[in-house]
Structure 1
Amino acid sequence: MRSGAKVAIVGGVFAVVASGVGYGGYNLWNGITGGSGSGTNSASGSEGRRTGPVTPEEVTATSKDFLAAWATGESETAARLTNDPVAAGPVLLGFREDAKVSAATITPGPASGATVPFTVKATVTTTGISRSWTYTSRLTVVRGQTTGRPLVDWKPGVLHPKLTTPTARIRTGGAKTGEIRAVDYKGRELTAEKYPSLGPVLDQLRQRYGSTFGGKPGIEVYIDSGSQSVPDTTLLTLAKGEPGRLETTIDADVQAAAEKAVKRYGTASVVAVKPSTGAVRAIANNPATGFNTAFQGKTMPGSTMKIVTAALLLEKGLVQADRVTECPPTAMYNGRTIRNLDGFSLDGATFGKSFAKSCNTAFIKKIDDVEKTEGDDFGLAREAKEVFGIGLDWKTGISSEDGSVPEASGGAAAEQYIGQGTVTMNPLNIASITATAKDGTFRQPYLVARNVDDREFAVAGRRLPSSVARQLRDMMRLTATAPYGTATGVMSSVSGDKGAKTGSAEVDGQGVSDSWFTGFADDLAAAAFVQGGGHGGTAAGPVVAQVLNAR
């Protein structure tokens, strides 16, 4: 396509205009077949097969040819300009036939290397209703492996960034489920526009409960996920349906604080839970769309796991909060050397102080004693499951992961004691662990009340002995208030009865550790994760403090 070309609408149908000159099928076909003309898509004939990175001229010409063919409704032509025409063809054809796009203008922006952003301005028409629809996406041009031709690297996300799986399609028509009007526990409406992190959550709630509460479907442009387990996503509403009202456990004030707090970092998540009931008060992620890391993430939690490890040691009578415990600079276990941050040691310190200072070696030195008391059947995995509910198949109301602490021995067990190795958690799990420590009893976190669909909540095998729960709370209070506590600085702004635990997880191949922080204030517990954030109090800590201050 000539420089300055763009796609436009003429007479309500797809057409292409290039600097005021009509642009027809010959040049498109020439680009596809690699004819002998002067177009930069040519890759055969006298020039032979091209190799090496695509040139800026090839990026410009290929992207414009592809966008022109797509906009004019030539889905087969557009597909043949990609490196996977078999997959691309039906998706591109569906843009007109399934999504009911009657007209479109697609305007490419300046290329960044081989990537070209573009804006789609479309008109969707169905059952006598027409609506404008605008969005942005991007494509990348690569060199074909066999032909050497420059081609669009096909992914469904080229058509729309929210098309993330091969089975997903954009459709227009009556939605498959009724609409819902989700509200917080005080009756305040929750929308994705006001609370962006709740967008994917609201999609799941609609799929699960939209028809249950009398909601009637509207006419929408939506992404049909093609899967029962993945919710559809509304892209544009042409005619509103009648929403049913669904009450959640969210607190709009806490949610607003959580949304604001995670925006400080590129990848961050936080969850807040009410210890006395298990009600989820906030869920926030940055980025706000896509994967719900706060509920579904699976990564090492670092020293926040020491809450569970401390409970195990206290239950076995191997430590007490006010009794002296060894805290050397390093400790060896089964060939693994475990160190404290910057090699610090605590001479004559109590276990409570070692907890508050996050002394790794104080925990590692007790592994042999754990195994001598009652054997491997009463280890960290059992403590995590029987007391803190980890791995019990939680029924929160949306998709969630409930944490994992596999059975381990030797060096792997040593890593688990300090939240490394095979232990995986997310902010929901760590917030729940903190809530259990605060309340003394595991109460399964939930976003929608159980009587809405009569689902069974997970129940832990036993509660924490009262003396253990008291000592855990006291040690977390020291962490948040004592001069030597690793969380004292960040928790200084939080009022009320408060406690905390910092954590950092060292991830292979990642130069800076992940930041973890969890804490409670009165009847609210929160946990946050910041990828590559460093020490727990540095990044994740301020996120939790901001959420707790919103209670």
Structure 2
Amino acid sequence: MGTRGKRRDAPARRNTSTLVIAAAAAVAVVGAGVGAYALMDGGAGSSAAVDGKPAVPSGPPSAAEIKAVATGFLGAWQSGDVAKAAAYTDDAGAARTALTGLAKDARLTDVKLAPGARKGATVPFHVTAMVSYAEKAGGPGVSKPYAYDSALSAVRRKSDGKVLVGWEPSVVHPELKDGDRLVTGEAGDPPVKAQDRDGGELTAAKYPSLGTVLDGLREKFGKKAGGTAGVELRVVRKAPAKGAEKNALPDKTLVTLSEGTPGTVRTTISPSVQAAAEKQVASRERASVVVLRPSTGEILGVANSSPGFNTAFQGSLAPGSTMKVITSSLLLEKGLAGVDKKHPCPKYFTYGHWKFQNDDKFEIKDGTFKASFARSCNTAFISQAPKLEDDSLTKQAQQVFGLGLDNWAIGVPSFDGAVPVQSQAQMAASLIGQGGVRMNPLNMASVAATVKSGTFHQPYLVSPDVDHRTLAKAARTLSAGTLADLRELMHYTAVAGTAVEPMSGLGADMGAKTGSAEVDGQKEPNGWFTAWRGDLAAAAVVQQGGHGGDSAGPVVRAMLLNGG
């Protein structure tokens, strides 16, 4: 990894972790009004007079001010005085719309609010309510209790120094972002019963990482699978911008008032692989993994330590040196490198006014390209940047590996990778998986699978036979000679390079590549590992994990050992 060209990871889009419907409030409600809570009294912000005129108060809100605005806002909300509650916020219009929607759209009644202990300017609170719905006017309805936790933060308005509730949609409900709504009614999509490849049922209770996947299956196949919709309270997401539909999260069910009739959707998930994947990510922080079958593209397993966002399918992270698999295929095709040919690996190489270096500033004197690949020498790749066109790497990723064209149709939302056209130092950084390159474990598992199979097979979770969708194709394949060289590079890395320890004892038909991707603001880089063994391919990332061989490598090893 280079000393320059570092980019921040794309932020997580939404936390969609399932809310537990509590049977009892976390903080007891005092009487029928807003409960008392622990707040230390304190003086107001500074407001000394200037030239005889009272100055506008400034500084952080005091404890007394926070208590006053929180009590006023929560009390007005609980009493149903939406206009008064909204007036306690710094965006009265948006707050009024959201609070009105709780009764009108979400159909929440008998709302009780119990504030908790203040933490700085933030006041947590517990919400209990009834969710009610009548299918026909005057007809029998259904209702259920619902409880959840949220929080508000007090802010001081600059114009007049007044302390108000800083308005965010999450104040109403922690699942809400701008443009999202809470709605109770007939579910837009019938439920689905998802099955693994053997016919067993897949549930989030058994496989926590599949929560967002199951939501995506329902949105995609609910109406096609023959089910009927029930009645639910759910988060209705804001319509995604044009071109971003595939990366958008599906609507999320919060309360089921009446069950619908599920349809059945068979997936490619292997129960043994999925169980092994869940076990691996559960023992690590911020780990994600995907397992594929190279000969077909079938997804056998997917798991994330943080199940609220499917980083494995939808993440957008710099892949670090695992990108060198794609870059090597480019250099081999263009004759800029040969497996056993001499290749430069200096301590430093400067291009586009950026000085790049190797990990620990190592160098390989009189070494081959195979040695540089196996040891993950950054300068061996950066040194070839002056001989490449700005779009060379982009075309290679798209035409051979099927990446970055936004045309994958795996059965649920996914990000297909991005290798933008860049120039000078940013283009050079892209060669080693930094710069503007963005990938996820699904993409990098597909890269290893393409090397193993010799042809890009678009990964998929649900067979295209179910809905007759068209899978993405690559424009071309590598020549037999280039493909053999690329396999040799990855195999050598697994037996004599940075991937030795994770790949030890896995036989002869295997290959791997490690990676570490620097991220601004992180002490440790993200650790990456991608590999194949027989007709299995896997990739993993452990964010802030450090060297890929140490962090992500053991995850991939477990997948290759437990593959179905």
| Structure 1 pair 103–547 and aligned structure 2 pair: CA distance change class (3 A) | farther
Tell me the distance in 1 between the aligned counterparts of 2:426 and 2:183: 49
* Kept after mapping to 1: 8 A contact 2:464/2:470: yes
Q: After superposition, what is the alpha-carbon deviation per residue over 1:404-455, rounded to whole angstroms, capped at 9, x for unaligned?
A: 2233443333222211212222222111111101111101111221122222
Greater CA drift, 385-394 or 502-511:
502-511
Is 1:211 aligned to residue 229 of structure 2? Answer: no
* Kept after mapping to 1: 8 A contact 2:115/2:123: yes
Aligned counterpart, 1:325:
343
* Kept after mapping to 2: 8 A contact 1:8/1:104: no
Aligned counterpart, 2:392:
379
Amino acid at match of 1:69: A
Normalising by structure 1, we get a TM-score of: 0.86
Unpaired runs of 5+ in structure 2?
Answer: 1-26, 37-41, 48-52, 135-140
Tell me the distance in 2 between the aligned counterparts of 1:422 and 1:187: 41
Query: Sequence identity of aligned pairs in percent?
Result: 47
Structure with larger RCO (C-alpha < 8 A, sep 6+): 2
Aligned counterpart, 1:28:
none
TM-superposed deviation, 1:104: 3.1
Amino acid at match of 1:344: F
| Structure 1 pair 549–121 and aligned structure 2 pair: CA distance change class (3 A) | farther
Which structure 2 residues correspond to residues 217-236 of structure 1 after superposition, within 5 A? 217-227=229-239, 229=245, 230=248, 231-236=250-255
Aligned counterpart, 1:345:
363
Aligned counterpart, 1:78:
85
Amino acid at match of 1:241: G
Aligned counterpart, 2:535:
523
* Kept after mapping to 1: 8 A contact 2:399/2:476: yes
TM-superposed deviation, 1:6: 6.2
| Structure 1 pair 481–131 and aligned structure 2 pair: CA distance change class (3 A) | same
Aligned partner of residue 208 in structure 2, secondary structure: coil
Amino acid at match of 1:57: A
Residue 418 of structure 1, aligned match among 432, 447, 464? 432
Amino acid at match of 1:382: K
* Kept after mapping to 1: 8 A contact 2:391/2:422: no
| Structure 1 pair 51–410 and aligned structure 2 pair: CA distance change class (3 A) | closer
Amino acid at match of 1:204: G
Aligned counterpart, 1:427:
441
Amino acid at match of 1:353: A
Tell me the distance in 2 between the aligned counterparts of 1:154 and 1:398: 33
Is 1:237 aligned to residue 245 of structure 2? Answer: no
| Structure 1 pair 450–326 and aligned structure 2 pair: CA distance change class (3 A) | same
* Kept after mapping to 2: 8 A contact 1:73/1:93: no
Is 1:437 aligned to residue 463 of structure 2? Answer: no
Is 1:257 aligned to residue 276 of structure 2? Answer: yes
Residue 480 of structure 2, aligned match among 438, 442, 466? 466
Is 1:478 aligned to residue 492 of structure 2? Answer: yes
Aligned counterpart, 1:146:
159
* Kept after mapping to 2: 8 A contact 1:7/1:104: no
Is 1:501 aligned to residue 513 of structure 2? Answer: yes
Aligned counterpart, 1:122:
129
Tell me the distance in 1 between the aligned counterparts of 2:373 and 2:34: 69
Tell me the distance in 1 between the aligned counterparts of 2:79 and 2:469: 50
Aligned counterpart, 2:192:
180
Tell me the distance in 2 between the aligned counterparts of 1:158 and 1:326: 57
Is 1:312 aligned to residue 330 of structure 2? Answer: yes
Which structure 2 residues correspond to residues 77-96 of structure 1 after superposition, within 5 A? 77-96=84-103
TM-superposed deviation, 1:39: 12
Tell me the distance in 1 between the aligned counterparts of 2:533 and 2:296: 15
Aligned partner of residue 381 in structure 1, secondary structure: helix
Aligned counterpart, 1:301:
319
Tell me the distance in 2 between the aligned counterparts of 1:284 and 1:527: 11
* Kept after mapping to 2: 8 A contact 1:6/1:106: no
| Structure 1 pair 550–367 and aligned structure 2 pair: CA distance change class (3 A) | same
Q: Tell me how large the CA RMSD over aligned residues is.
A: 2.8
TM-superposed deviation, 1:495: 6.3
